[in-house]
Structure 1
Amino acid sequence: MSLPVLLLEAAGPESEQLARTAAASGHRVHAVTDAATLTTYSGELRRLLAGCLVTDFTQPGQALADITGYGRRIGVQALLTVNEYLTDLAARACAALGLPGNDPERAPAARNKAVMAAAFEAGHVTAPRTTIVSDLGELRALDAAGAVAFPCVVKPADGAGSAGVTVVTGHEGLEPAWHAARAARTIYGMPRDECTLVQEHVCGREFSVESITQHGVTTHLCITRKHTTGGIHRVELGHALPARLPAVAERALLDQADRAIAAVGVRNGATHTELVLGPDGRCTVLEIGARLGAGHIGVLIQHALGIDPWRTLWDIALGHPATLAPASGGYATVRFLTTPHPGRLVSVTGLPEVTATIPAVRVRAVEGADVGPVTSNRGRLGHVIVTGHDPRTVDTQADRILRQITITVAPRSQS
């Protein structure tokens, strides 16, 4: 049956996949975006859409009224987003339209890190000790009073994709980190939250838990192992799933993910919970998103587990039973291409051919573009996905592919 469905933002890899999946099922896909982003929609994406609402996301009250009014006019049967910045708005729109969604009162906790820290404390989630500062003077006063322990992490309250996040090892790094957090961009020109977080730095291995919740019942699809940079900026260089862990470690990660999901009021949809597993087995939740994990995690789930996450999300949004049993026992990893230093991209050579075990190879940066430094996930130049059944074999192949790729970058001063 062809049904009208609404997608809050159709731009971006995961969003476009949602649009393609709904259209392939015969549904009439409508998108909500702003005027500037609409101009970036490709011809292929525009052809998928039955309609498009242009609104102003900087005015959340008016955007909600626009979305609910448009939804009622088209008789919308499902509303979804995988856009980090729109999950709060999606929850409120679903509630207004009587569609399956998340708790609109608690939804801000999955978007704003300051609200999230309070929700985690109330929900007995093990999380980093967090201090919220409103301005640089307050941060200086805390430091002068000896109230800042090093190393610590400074991050914006409303950031995403590791933008503006700095690991600070001493007093001299605090002010630059604060300025970096304040300089982190939001999208759509949304107003900034002036708060900045100073958090305990938690050491250990980084993971994420990919989960689906329907009618308040959560199914954990897998645990993802994360590859990140060291240094003051922790950029994700790769993901691999499903991670194979001892039972006690797996239980610790899933227990904390359950607590985090409940704390931010997720009732219907995907969650991506980021955690650190310490050397002592202590599991700490860094943050949670009320959305499918970005960075091609959905593609990895499809290849490794045989679960179509985009179809699953539409089923939940439509109120249909979701099928979540893994259909295969595979393994998949994505590795991101990054520049060795900032400058002008000259070339990317040594890329592998697409094969059955290398289903995706993409360079998204064009030659001649300014690239780097890699201080957030936005600085990644492209990616390679490798799949198979044996984790060691897949990871070894991915490592070998990265060694064979040469990224040539010239100083920006060269013509």
Structure 2
Amino acid sequence: MNRPVLLLEAAGPESGHLARTAAASGRSVHTVTTTEALAGYSPALRGLLAGTFTTDLGNPQQALADTVAYARRINAAAVLTTNEYLTPLAAHTCALLDLPGNDPAAAHAARDKAAMATAFTTAGVTAPRTHTIATPAMLRARFLRPGMRLPVIVKPADAAGSQGVTVVARLQDADTAWRHAHTAPGMYGGSAGRTVLLQQYIPGREYSVESLTQHGRTTHLAITAKTTTRGTHRVELAHTLPAQLPPAVEQAIHQETAKAVRAVGIRNGASHTEVIVTPTGRPYVIETAARIGAGHIGDLLHHALGINPWTALLDIALGRPARLTPGRRHHATVRFLTSPAAGRLTAVTGLPRPGPDTPLVRLRVRPGDPVGPAHTNAGRLGSLIVVSPDARTTAARAAQLLDDIRVEVEPHSA
């Protein structure tokens, strides 16, 4: 009889993929979550799970003790997560159970950007200069005096999904940016009192590297080109893979990413590394997360390259050889829908039907919901995936579909 798989938090699209993959392989699936999160599980997700256990995931010591005890009770064969906030818990749990996982001594550096900056410096990773900022006054006095080069990035050390991140282009915006980072919402640990970082702004094109590591050996599956909004708050509007880059630039990105993955102790599992490539072709690693990329990047890998990342993640967690050889060489993109104004959503029209070249069309909102311009990734309204054998056709088809979609909003009254 196959031993069960334990997911640290089953909510979310990526966790759903993992749970369905494990169940389809004959594994029963259990989850560790919180009482609040469990209340929001859909009937379909509840029906998929063989068992649930709730604990205080904001209390690391209690969560670790409870998770290890539950894993032993069910005789779990694997413990894994797609939730960035829970990657340290996964590393420590796997270490105590002698299961494939990441280095528990370095796992904090894959979650906390201040610790990550220190680890990058030690490992010689090309990365932006990063400083911890205790107060708005310190931000102004030490770094944002008249004549200093702007813009700069102000962000929380431990949030995710662009929460609390500001591109500061004017001195008078410094205090607001610091408060925005200091009170950024997060999971499990509250929102107030976050460590605030000042980071060097690197001009250039943004990419991410999707990688899987097994027994300390990393395979880079694809480089993803990103399209983001401009201005004070940057929101990802599109992911496209595989990116088309000169071989020398691609090699440089892979080299820096490999150093970053090692620096934060990723030994077994996925990594999602954000990189800026300057106009001269030099890559800077912004950050590395010990998880698969969100925003349907796993779906893009599957549709473009024929690699099933969910099966690969499960194989790695079970200690079995992962199959990472591409089965096809197509191109795929995801485009995100955003609201043109703040108000009440009245309709979304012109959405395509799912089909061979549009395998996913998804709305996260319904008529009557309050909407507004996206300031974080969580503010996006929906998404669609386009796939075809070549990059030009994929881009043209995605642009055509977006032109046909209308997001209708009843603005807030004055």
Return the alpha-carbon distance in structure 1 between the equivalents of residues 412 and 30 of structure 2: 42
Q: Any idea what SS the aligned residue of 2:329 has?
A: coil
The corresponding residue for 2:175 is 175
The corresponding residue for 2:202 is 202
Return the alpha-carbon distance in structure 2 between the equivalents of residues 331 and 144 of structure 1: 43
The corresponding residue for 2:367 is 367
CA deviation after TM superposition for structure 1 residue 67, in Å: 0.2
The corresponding residue for 1:262 is 262
Q: Deviations over 1:138-164 (max 9, x none)?
A: 223224656953110110111100111
Q: Any idea what SS the aligned residue of 2:140 has?
A: helix
Go from structure 1 to structure 2 and tell me whether the alpha carbon gap of 1:404 and 1:11 turns closer, same or farther (over 3 Å shift).
same
The corresponding residue for 1:228 is 228
Letter in 2 for 1:265: G
Matches within 5 A, 1:70-81: 70-81=70-81
Q: Could you tell me whether the CA contact under 8 Å between 1:239 and 1:333 is conserved in 2? A: yes
CA deviation after TM superposition for structure 1 residue 53, in Å: 0.8
Which 5+ residue runs of structure 2 have no aligned equivalent? none
Go from structure 1 to structure 2 and tell me whether the alpha carbon gap of 1:92 and 1:192 turns closer, same or farther (over 3 Å shift).
farther
Return the alpha-carbon distance in structure 2 between the equivalents of residues 345 and 184 of structure 1: 26
Return the alpha-carbon distance in structure 2 between the equivalents of residues 147 and 99 of structure 1: 53
Q: Any idea what SS the aligned residue of 2:222 has?
A: strand
Q: Could you tell me whether the CA contact under 8 Å between 1:238 and 1:333 is conserved in 2? A: yes
Go from structure 1 to structure 2 and tell me whether the alpha carbon gap of 1:285 and 1:144 turns closer, same or farther (over 3 Å shift).
closer
Query: Percentage identity across aligned positions?
Result: 54
Q: Could you tell me whether the CA contact under 8 Å between 2:210 and 2:293 is conserved in 1? A: yes
CA deviation after TM superposition for structure 1 residue 73, in Å: 0.7
Q: Could you tell me whether the CA contact under 8 Å between 1:208 and 1:273 is conserved in 2? A: yes
CA deviation after TM superposition for structure 1 residue 16, in Å: 0.8
Q: Could you tell me whether the CA contact under 8 Å between 1:58 and 1:191 is conserved in 2? A: no
Q: Could you tell me whether the CA contact under 8 Å between 1:159 and 1:184 is conserved in 2? A: yes
Q: Any idea what SS the aligned residue of 1:367 has?
A: coil
CA deviation after TM superposition for structure 1 residue 231, in Å: 0.8
Letter in 1 for 2:339: T
Letter in 2 for 1:158: D
Return the alpha-carbon distance in structure 2 between the equivalents of residues 144 and 5 of structure 1: 50
CA deviation after TM superposition for structure 1 residue 255, in Å: 0.7
Letter in 1 for 2:322: A
The corresponding residue for 1:153 is 153
Matched residues, number:
414
Go from structure 1 to structure 2 and tell me whether the alpha carbon gap of 1:366 and 1:2 turns closer, same or farther (over 3 Å shift).
same
The alignment yields a C-alpha RMSD, in angstroms, of 1.4
Q: TM-score, normalised by structure 2?
A: 0.97
Q: Any idea what SS the aligned residue of 1:272 has?
A: strand
Q: Could you tell me whether the CA contact under 8 Å between 2:344 and 2:370 is conserved in 1? A: yes
Q: Could you tell me whether the CA contact under 8 Å between 2:32 and 2:55 is conserved in 1? A: yes
Q: Deviations over 1:124-178 (max 9, x none)?
A: 1111111111222322322465695311011011110011111111211111111
Return the alpha-carbon distance in structure 2 between the equivalents of residues 291 and 28 of structure 1: 22
The corresponding residue for 1:386 is 386
Return the alpha-carbon distance in structure 1 between the equivalents of residues 201 and 367 of structure 2: 37
Return the alpha-carbon distance in structure 2 between the equivalents of residues 387 and 101 of structure 1: 33
Return the alpha-carbon distance in structure 2 between the equivalents of residues 206 and 311 of structure 1: 28
CA deviation after TM superposition for structure 1 residue 354, in Å: 1.1
Q: Any idea what SS the aligned residue of 2:351 has?
A: coil
